[in-house]
Amino acid sequence: MQISSRITTILLLVCFTIITSSAQFGIRAKYSSNEFSTWENALRDSPSSNTNEILNSSFGVGVDYWFRLKEKRIEFLPELSYGLKTTSSIDDNVSVSFQNFAFNFNTHIYAFDLVGDCDCPTFSKQGPTLKKGFFFLVSPGVSMNMHNYDTELPSETSNSATDYSIRFGVGAGYDIGINDLVTVTPIVSYNVGTSVTGDHLEFSQYFQQVDDLSSSWNHLLFQLRIGFRPDYVNKYRR
């Protein structure tokens, strides 16, 4: 897909720019437990289907850039991410797949140290670990979603669709300091958003009884972020 290749190129360029700069940046690995309620209910009610699970888990990667408020410990980590293509089989002849590109404006709120003097990374400062490292997450974003319906049934045709959805997530995370350059941060959040299209399922016998094929896409998201702070290290080498 031409759009996908262009976005991939842009993402790679952004990664290169971030990594070669002197600011703080991070890379993320993601695991998502998905719920597409309309499609799952349709498969559950369909006499032709032998499953009601569809795209129930997926993986992703992301890169982010860090900046913060001057007087408060509220940090901003705008991020570009890619949800790796994940596929589910409805039966031996039919499968559906899903992948997405997203922009997320992650905000970390260190509620236990909101007025602290932390010149992050937090693990370079003295003080209680929980107070310095725990934060609440708020994460609005937008996602471009690409769907495919692949079939070998002679009565059906393969189909694809692309749509956009607005996402919003809330959660919490915890900074684990390795040294002045590297921190590791596990994060868990729950994300909801506007409905995603079901146009790629329009001619499927498994979904014919559904009037509106669009479905909510909610997911429990687990992330592991590795943050790098070369500007902090360089400051003390001068």
pLDDT tens digits, 12-56: 566 555 554 556 889 999 999 999 999 999 888 887 777 878 999
What is the DSSP-derived secondary structure letter of residue 187?
Answer: E
Structure tokens at 113: 């140290």
pLDDT given for residue 104 in this prediction: 97
The answer to whether 121 and 165 have CB atoms below 8 angstroms apart is: no
Q: Which helix (H) or strand (E) holds 116?
A: none
Whole-number Å distance between alpha carbons of 127 and 75: 19
Kindly report the length of the chain: 238
Whole-number Å distance between alpha carbons of 25 and 186: 16
The answer to whether 143 and 100 have CB atoms below 8 angstroms apart is: yes
Dihedral angle over CA of 124, 236, 20, 226, nearest 10: -10
Q: Tell me the Cα Rg of the chain.
A: 21
Question: What residue ranges define each of the domains in the chain, with the CATH number in brackets?
Answer: 2-235 (2.40.160.20)
pLDDT given for residue 70 in this prediction: 82
Model pTM score: 0.83
Q: Tokens 């009037």 map to which residue?
A: 211
Instruction: Count the Cβ atoms, other than its own, within 10 Å of residue 205.
Output: 16
Annotate 95-114 with b (16+ C-beta within 10 A) or e (fewer). Answer: bbbbbbbbebebbbebeebe
Low-confidence ranges of the chain (pLDDT < 50): 20, 122, 236-238
Its sign, for the CA torsion 200, 205, 206, 211, is positive
Residues in Cβ contact with 237 at an 8 Å cutoff, skipping those fewer than 6 apart: none
Whole-number Å distance between alpha carbons of 143 and 219: 13
Instruction: Count the Cβ atoms, other than its own, within 10 Å of residue 160.
Output: 13
> Of 170, 219, 216, whose CA–CA distance to 197 is shortest?
216
- 3-class secondary structure, 112: helix
